[in-house]
């Protein structure tokens, strides 16, 4: 335990606020969903049974209660590695075996990340094999879970360790503007990952087959032509190997854009509904949401790295995060560990823009496909994914990337006229 300075006090205060706020939001969500459990909201009464509504309520409450362990674990972990001196101690221990300062720092960060995953493992097992299984969503087997874990760790090592070592090398070698070089490297790394993802990374975890249903293919082809969208193919992913939740997404960019449907989505929606859901996804693309998100992410990274560049020159920072000596490599890692405490006020803003994009994508879908099919498709997805129709409005303001069901469906009805 190092001595505390004003910055340590600030960290403790912000951590208490952030943990308290998340706990409070979760409690609101639990109370709100439970209060609306007895009856299906009037707008959905025709399509969703009371049993399905109550299953959604129970699933939402179970997930919210479970998330509280995560909130506490994250707070305890952050305290342990910073003010508790965890990172400094691990660094000292590893120093007995590793003499190169660069690899010493890399080993410390990697060991911390491994330790953190190990701590999270029981939670992850519980979520998959207890929580998801209890509501009938889990289709994962223990061997598949373990294989995923090993593949994920190997991929993280192959991709992450060289990047980490490169970033720390730039930090040590490039002088005052190191953060600009690290940002450029991070930019290149992200573009590379985004281009490798559809063809090299995603297939490590799932099988992708070209869509075979000719009727559906023709329908999708017409939609793509109407919207002037070039794609290198429509694929079906075996999402059902892990979970019965359904979804659809785009990956890649330029000429390599792929449309991916989870097999679980195709099982449940009729062709007209699938077309509307795809039109919504196309809306995200055509309204430039995807590129806006990327640019926003790149700008935020630049701001964060510039802030790190300044912060790592301040002596109070090292003492504040539990490092007895100035060590910029360890400091950079801890900077990114505590950064979310300072960006907490941005969470509602980010959710706001995300929900705005959802409305715009819905409006695009209504222009190019059937609004009533989108409504019936969404209602099926709400029902089958046991998404609550009655989220707490304040919790939603902070955490929901999508508009609450009732508001979203009302907007679609209004658009249909
Ligand atoms: Zn969307």
pLDDT tens figures, 381-393: 999 999 999 999 9
Compute how many other C-beta atoms are within 10 angstroms of the C-beta atom of residue 399: 17
Q: What angle do CA 39, 40, 46 make, to 5 degrees?
A: 135
pTM higher than the cut 0.85: yes
The span from the CA of 335 to the CA of 340, in Å, is 9
281 Cα: distance to centroid of ligand 1 (angstroms): 6
Given phi > 0 = left and psi -120 to 50 = alpha, else beta, which region is 253?
A: beta
Q: What angle do CA 211, 212, 214 make, to 5 degrees?
A: 110
Interstrand relation of 258-262 and 248-251 (parallel, antiparallel or unpaired): antiparallel
CA atoms within 13 A on the CB side of 326: 7
Residue written as token pair 């990114």: 336
- For the chain (417 residues), the mean pLDDT of every run of 10, in chain order, is 84 97 97 97 93 97 96 96 95 94 96 96 96 94 95 94 97 95 96 88 93 91 88 87 84 76 91 94 91 93 97 96 94 97 92 95 94 94 94 95 93 82
362 is catalytic: yes
49 Cα: distance to centroid of ligand 1 (angstroms): 25
Interstrand relation of 234-237 and 258-262 (parallel, antiparallel or unpaired): parallel
Whether residue 56 contacts residue 392, with contact meaning beta carbons closer than 8 Å, is answered with: no
342 Cα: distance to centroid of ligand 1 (angstroms): 28
DSSP string, 348-405: HHHHHHHHHHHHHHHHHHHHHS-HHHHHHHHHHHHHHTT--SS--HHHHHHH-SS--H
Measure CA 166 to chain center: 25
Of 273, 281, 358, 384, catalytic: 281
Whether residue 287 contacts residue 229, with contact meaning beta carbons closer than 8 Å, is answered with: no
132 Cα: distance to centroid of ligand 1 (angstroms): 23
Q: Which of 107, 69, 73, 71 is nearest to 87 (CA)?
A: 107
190 Cα: distance to centroid of ligand 1 (angstroms): 22
pLDDT digits (tens, 9 = 90+) for 247-282: 888 777 766 778 899 999 999 999 999 999 999 999
206 Cα: distance to centroid of ligand 1 (angstroms): 22
Of 132, 362, 384, 392, catalytic: 362
């Amino acid at each position: 335990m190092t001595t505390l300075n004003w910055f340590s006090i600030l960290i403790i205060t912000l951590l208490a606020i952030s943990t308290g706020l998340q706990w409070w939001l979760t409690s609101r969500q639990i109370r709100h969903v439970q209060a609306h459990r007895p009856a299906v909201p009037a707008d959905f009464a025709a399509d969703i049974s009371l049993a399905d509504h109550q299953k959604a309520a129970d699933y939402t409450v179970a997930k919210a209660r479970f998330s509280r362990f995560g909130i506490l674990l994250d707070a305890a972990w952050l305290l342990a590695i910073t003010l508790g001196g965890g990172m400094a101690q691990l660094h000292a221990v590893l120093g007995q075996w590793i003499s190169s300062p660069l690899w010493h720092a890399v080993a410390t960060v990697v060991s911390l990340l491994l330790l953190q995953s190990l701590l999270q493992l029981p939670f992850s097992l519980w979520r998959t094999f207890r929580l998801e299984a209890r509501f009938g969503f889990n289709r994962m087997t223990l061997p598949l879970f373990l294989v995923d874990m090993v593949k994920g760790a190997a991929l993280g090592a192959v991709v992450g360790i060289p990047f980490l070592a490169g970033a720390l090398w730039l930090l040590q070698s490039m002088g005052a503007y190191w953060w600009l070089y690290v940002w450029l490297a991070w930019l290149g790394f992200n573009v590379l990952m985004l281009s490798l993802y559809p063809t090299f990374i995603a297939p490590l975890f799932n099988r992708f087959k070209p869509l075979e249903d000719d009727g559906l293919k023709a329908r999708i082809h017409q939609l793509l032509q109407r919207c002037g969208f070039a794609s290198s193919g429509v694929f079906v992913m075996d999402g059902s190997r892990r979970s019965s939740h359904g979804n659809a997404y785009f990956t890649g960019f330029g000429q390599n854009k792929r449309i991916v449907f989870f097999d679980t989505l195709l099982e449940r929606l009729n062709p007209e509904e699938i077309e509307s859901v795809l039109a919504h996804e196309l809306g995200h693309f055509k309204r430039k949401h995807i590129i806006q998100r990327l640019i926003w992410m790149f700008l935020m990274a630049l701001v964060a790295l510039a802030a790190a560049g300044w912060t790592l020159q301040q002596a109070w920072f090292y003492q504040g995060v539990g490092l007895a000596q100035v060590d910029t490599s360890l400091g950079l890692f801890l900077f990114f560990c505590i950064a979310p405490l300072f960006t907490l006020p941005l969470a509602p803003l980010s959710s706001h823009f995300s929900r705005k994009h959802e409305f715009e994508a819905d409006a695009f879908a209504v222009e190019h496909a059937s609004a009533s099919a989108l409504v019936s498709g969404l209602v099926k997805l709400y029902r089958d994914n046991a998404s609550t129709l009655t989220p707490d409005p304040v919790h939603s303001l902070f955490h929901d990337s999508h508009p609450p069901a009732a508001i979203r469906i009302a907007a679609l009805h209004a658009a249909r006229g």
